[in-house]
């Protein structure tokens, strides 16, 4: 009898997931869709002051939506969902930085977003914006790296951290099943995301909805797995993007990979933080005009924990690009 009840509940949540996705897909996305070669990417634009800020999110994240309204007060902001996330279509191509950069430039060209750009890269997104700035130096006038990665250290991770990487991938694979069965959508309804990350409560619900919508879709977790499995390939691709002269760069360093809690005792937090320390040393060498900001109250998710530091970083780059700019 208990087995029948469980089967019934799973069938119910799976049907609810399918119906909810169908209703969501009937609504227009907040931005516009642009074809980048047989599949389309979603681009959301806010603000109208030059230059243009272009955001590339973390692995599995579309956290830029949380700050779009604040950033739009400073300049025009372009937030795009990488292929497989948010409203963007799945891509048949490998999920590596080189391919992602190609898609991003095609998207910006198709949308008529003219340079110059200030690029913001969060975590894995830092690989992508660095490679973009290397491939298209004439289009980029500054960068903000939010607790970014550096390939020198990432490509020689310890056995402990390699095991942690595999643990995360296994979690992503389980989440593919969880999203298909409607379990993640049920977590959304029960506000489990806010329980796991209370800091999300300070953001307006309409901004959070863009993020939650993506996390409820199987393609989101499939793409996370693909990006994580290709992380070493992306690291090798970005090796060429290490010399940017005097390009204005602000490197944001979080206080810790994760905020210490009961569950972090089961992961090699000390090793992760030592890796981060070495990566930030390397990131500061990218430019002779590189400034470091410390997000002293933040874990790796600076966009959620301490978003004001990101706003400050953008202001620093804007002022370096145009010292006469007000504010």
Q: For 55-111, give the DSSP string.
A: EE--TT--GGGGGHHHHTTTSEEEEEEPTTSTTSPP-SS---HHHHHHHHHHHHHHT
Beta carbons within 10 angstroms of residue 318's beta carbon? 21
Which residues is 122 bridged to in the sheet?
146
In eight-state DSSP terms, residue 250 is: E
In the DSSP assignment, the letter for residue 45 is E
First to last CA, the chain: 67
- For residue 187, what are the contacts with CB-CB under 8 A and spacing of at least 6? 193
Taking alpha carbons only, the member of 234, 326, 252, 257 closest to residue 290 is: 252
Q: Is 119 left (phi over 0), alpha (psi -120 to 50) or beta?
A: beta
pLDDT (0 to 100) of residue 263: 59
Cβ neighbours of residue 309 closer than 8 Å, sequence gap 6 or more: 252, 293, 294, 295, 298, 302
Give pLDDT, residue 167.
Answer: 84
Q: What is the mean pLDDT of the chain?
A: 91
Query: What is the per-residue pLDDT for 281?
Result: 93
Q: Tabulate helix, strand, coil % of the chain (nearest 5).
A: 55, 15, 30
Considering the domain 2-321 in this protein, what is its CATH number? Answer: 3.40.50.1820
Q: Does position 113 have pLDDT exceeding 80, yes or no?
A: yes
List 249's β-bridge partners, or say none.
Answer: 143, 290
Phi, psi of 67 (to 5 degrees): -115, 5
Confidence of residue 199 (pLDDT cuts 50, 70, 90): confident
Domain boundaries, the chain: 2-321
pLDDT digits (tens, 9 = 90+) for 204-251: 888 888 889 999 999 999 999 999 999 999 999 999 999 999 999 999
Place 28 in a pLDDT band, splitting at 50, 70 and 90.
Answer: very high
pLDDT in tens, 289-309: 999 999 999 888 899 999 999
Share of the chain above pLDDT 90, in %: 67
Q: Which residues of 153-163 are buried (b: 16+ CB within 10 A; e: fewer)?
A: bbeebeeebee
């Amino acid at each position: 009898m208990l087995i029948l009840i469980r089967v019934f509940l799973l069938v119910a949540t799976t049907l609810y997931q399918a119906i909810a996705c169908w209703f969501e897909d009937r609504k227009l996305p907040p931005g516009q869709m642009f074809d980048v070669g047989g599949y389309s990417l979603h681009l959301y634009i806010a603000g109208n002051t030059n230059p243009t800020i272009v955001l590339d999110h973390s692995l599995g994240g579309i956290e830029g939506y949380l700050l779009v309204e604040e950033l739009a007060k400073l300049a025009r902001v372009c937030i795009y969902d990488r292929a497989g996330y948010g409203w963007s279509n799945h891509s048949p191509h490998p999920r590596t930085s080189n391919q992602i950069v190609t898609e991003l430039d095609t998207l910006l060209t198709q949308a008529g977003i003219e340079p110059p750009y200030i690029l913001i890269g969060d975590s894995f997104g830092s690989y992508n914006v660095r490679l973009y700035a290397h491939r298209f130096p004439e289009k980029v006038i500054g960068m903000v790296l939010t607790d970014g990665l550096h390939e020198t250290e990432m490509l020689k991770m310890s056995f402990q951290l390699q095991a942690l990487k595999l643990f995360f991938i296994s979690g992503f694979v389980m989440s593919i099943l969880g999203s298909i069965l409607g379990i993640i959508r049920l977590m959304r309804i029960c506000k489990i995301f806010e329980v796991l990350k209370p800091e999300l409560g300070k953001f307006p619900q309409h901004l959070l909805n863009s993020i939650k919508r993506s996390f409820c879709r199987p393609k989101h977790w499939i793409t996370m797995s693909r990006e994580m499995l290709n992380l070493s390939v992306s690291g090798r691709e970005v090796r060429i993007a290490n010399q940017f002269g005097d390009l204005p760069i602000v490197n944001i360093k979080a206080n810790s990979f994760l905020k210490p809690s009961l569950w972090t005792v089961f992961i090699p937090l000390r090793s992760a933080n030592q890796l981060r320390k070495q990566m930030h040393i390397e990131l500061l060498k990218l430019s002779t005009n590189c400034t470091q900001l410390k997000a002293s109250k933040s874990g790796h998710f600076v966009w959620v924990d301490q978003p004001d530091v990101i706003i400050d970083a953008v202001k620093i780059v804007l002022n370096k690009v145009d010292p006469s700019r007000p504010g």
